Amino acid sequence: MIRLISYLVIYIFGITVTIAQIKSEEIVIDNQAIQLPGTLSFSDEKQPLVIWVHGSGSVNRDGNQPQYIKQFRQEINKKGIAFFSYDKRTANPKNVSFIQEDGIYFSDFVSDIKEVVNHFKNDERFTEIILVGHSQGSLIAMLALKNVDKYISIAGAGETIDKTLIRQITAQSAEFGKLTEQHLKELKETGEIKEVNPNLISIFAPQNQPFLSSWIKINPVEEIKKVTIPTLLINGDKDIQVQVSDAQKLKEAKPDAQLVIIENMNHPLKEIKNDEDNMKSYMTADYPISKELITVVTEFIKK
């Protein structure tokens, strides 16, 4: 019994020391008037640095309700890899007035991540910079790879966003899918949609149209052909937003990329055993991040 207690004390102490070794810095990166507050975490100097590139929506540095970015951070730090994520420009209330005044375009998100990379490119604490682009961030990262050493795409689309939107909405309603197709055709041809169906206003609201119009023009299959650094493509087979075929299309466009399909991983990177848990995992941090994802990313970074 004494030996067992001693072991437990040593074990608990060991965990405490490990946690204490993780250093954290709060950093605000400015892109002109836009403020991008974020968190840098690392356990030692001379580590590779992962910079997270957000998917769609107003996503904060932790990944909102499902906390998938925070979970990723915690696990990747344990592997001796530094990590930085920031509040997307649309997630920071201090940016609202500037966004309302100037609008927002796809290139704005590319500009933001370029500023983040510039902030760290000469930081001698880190041996290399790896961009990890999730969902929409896969394409954003592709366009911001100057001064970056490795690129990882997680759940990145393999087609232009108009095709993805039509497919996703059609899966829910054939009628709305047809309307979506008509709206997108009008947007591409004229640059605006004069009369938006009320059921689709959350997507095609007037303030969203310039952003969508700028996004539609960029084809990830063409952009990934320009990538010259080591590339890892990841998709989960439980992803109901981005299909495995999207990752396969990116692989076909860049044959030297490494492709990994992760069993039971969904779009917010959670390990899902039962299909009924898939949507639930979008709203809570109770579901764990995929262990295989962490293993695959770690091996790619350290090889």
Binned average pLDDT, 10 residues per bin, the chain of 303 residues: 40 40 96 98 94 97 98 97 98 95 95 98 97 98 98 98 94 95 96 95 94 96 98 98 97 98 98 95 97 98 94
Q: Which of 166, 171, 178 is nearest to 240 (CA)?
A: 171
How deeply is 279 buried, as exposed, middle or buried, from its count of CB atoms within 10 A (0-12, 13-18, 19+)? exposed
Tokens of 196: 């938006």
Distance CA 231, CA 201 (A): 37
Distance CA 228, CA 251 (A): 14
In a domain, 255, yes or no: yes
pLDDT of residue 45: 85
What residues pair up with 236 in beta bridges, in sequence order?
262
Q: How far is CA 50 from the centre of its chain?
A: 12
In a domain, 138, yes or no: yes
Q: Which of 119, 154, 138 is nearest to 28 (CA)?
A: 119
pLDDT tens digit string along 66-85?
999 999 999 999 999 999 99
Which domain range does residue 135 map to? Answer: 24-160+218-302
pLDDT tens digit string along 180-207?
999 999 999 999 999 999 999 999 999 9
In a domain, 242, yes or no: yes
CATH number at residue 56: 3.40.50.1820
In a domain, 283, yes or no: yes
Tokens of 243: 């299909």
How deeply is 71 buried, as exposed, middle or buried, from its count of CB atoms within 10 A (0-12, 13-18, 19+)? buried
